[in-house]
Structure 1
């Protein structure tokens, strides 16, 4: 359960770091699933610009019993419920196994602008719960944030540079914040680099400005992102929405597991 201090910090800064949420056994299970999912030739697997290294795998909770249960573990679900003030459903899951020396950049962005413009999300009542499966260091692509930027509306300073939902997934992202705006915000808000051991959880607001540099180390950097949306904030109908595996349109509330997610896993094959 989050403390009053945790909630106050999140409301002020837009993020919260919770070390040691998951054990080595649990992250080890998810890393094995990361390797398996990275080998699947499915539309949800996105490659880096070299066409070889895996950049992301989306909708992992639909391809893995372990990740499906993980999204319903109370250690993930309860912070989302507490901070959003309602039951939640999964808007999106994304696994980023940033490859040694080849894992590419994620430019500065606010997730909510994508969810709003490309998915039809009405209000910013959604957040990220991200869990480090590997140790995240200063060298292998940590998450950079601008604290407090979740309180800012940057629609007028974000330009849509490319057509097509596919360009919401690549290193050359679709919606780009202007360099002048980024310079001004970095000067006024400062930057924080979030690092941590495997099992660390980082919760952050969907409007928080964040990015990730390339992996310049020889070590893999795997992070799983669960994007929870309030059940009171279903997506509106829009023209040409992104695929359902990128933006779920089923606001059915998630039911929490009674036990930790790995307790009763007999196999880790697809739940469907």
Structure 2
């Protein structure tokens, strides 16, 4: 399915206690007044927090958990490193849109990534429904080269992070692809994992509900695909230039959570 559709959904990959622990950590990181924290257009709600694996031991271990790392290694057929991590909390009635885009075009144009040998492993920390900003995808769009149909507007890496995204696929091309490929809305319980190709067209509508929607994205890149030197590269917390292979944890990341969380997580997962 992944090769044909460009994505794979794995339900119940992480236990309720594990996702709750990550949510608590997410709340703490969202309070930090740092460059890695990006706000919505209202200047109040948190849109994203980047490089969470550098800000939090819990998230650092999470990115090396075999449930995240092994699928990335298998699908990319190589050792991998973290190109980027991104925490996306969509606040009730406040979380804004992410327009249709291919991540790889950002990584190529703004970071100097030579080949599309990178993917997303995204884990739902809240329940994702049709109302609170699910991830929409166009199945099979990862097979398409849309460089000529993607227009770059604005200057500076800051424009890659806002609701008015920098690299826009033309509306005419989006209409054609939507009619030809169709749309799929990815929903799921907390702990669901969505793995998708860096070239897959995807977007996310605003959160129109009273329920939060938090997703953690880990972008793994092949160690054989390091970023090329470019002028004015994005900050290291947006695009890592240190392609050191990741070492998998000897046990699940939840084994190093506080005792109460760990015991409950182990019981829930049956480990």
Show structure 2 runs of 5+ residues with no match.
Answer: 260-271
> CA offsets per residue over residues 179-216 of structure 1, 9 Å max, x none?
00000000000000000000000000000000000000
Which residue, out of 94, 108, 111, partners 2:100? 108
Instruction: Show the 5 A alignment for 1:48-197.
Output: 48-197=40-189
Q: How does 1:241-260 map to 2 (within 5 A)?
A: 241-260=233-252
Please give the per-residue CA displacement for 1:205-237, whole angstroms capped at 9, x wherever unaligned: 000000000000001100000000000000000
Decide which moves more: 258-267 or 52-61.
Answer: 258-267
Deviations 1:75-107 (CA, angstroms, capped at 9, x unpaired): 000000000000000000000010000100000
Kindly report the root-mean-square deviation, in angstroms, between the aligned alpha carbons of the 2 structures. Answer: 0.8
TM-score, with structure 1 as normaliser: 0.94
Deviation, 1:266, is 4.9
Match of residue 270 from structure 1: none
Q: Which residue of 2 aligns with 1:10?
A: 2
Number of aligned residue pairs: give it: 259
Alignment match, 2:212: 220
The corresponding residue for 1:45 is 37
SS state at 2:254 partner: coil
The separation in 1 between residues aligned to 2:249 and 2:258, in whole angstroms, is: 16
Determine whether 1:20 maps to 2:12: yes
User: Displacement, 1:265?
Assistant: 3.2
Alignment partners' CA distance in 1, 2:241 and 2:202: 25
Give the TM-score taking structure 2 as reference length. Answer: 0.95
Q: Structure 2: how far apart are the matches of 1:90 and 1:118?
A: 16
Give, in whole Å, the separation in 1 of the partners of 2:100 and 2:213. 19
Distance 1:256 1:201 in 2: 18
- SS of the residue corresponding to residue 74 of structure 2 reads helix
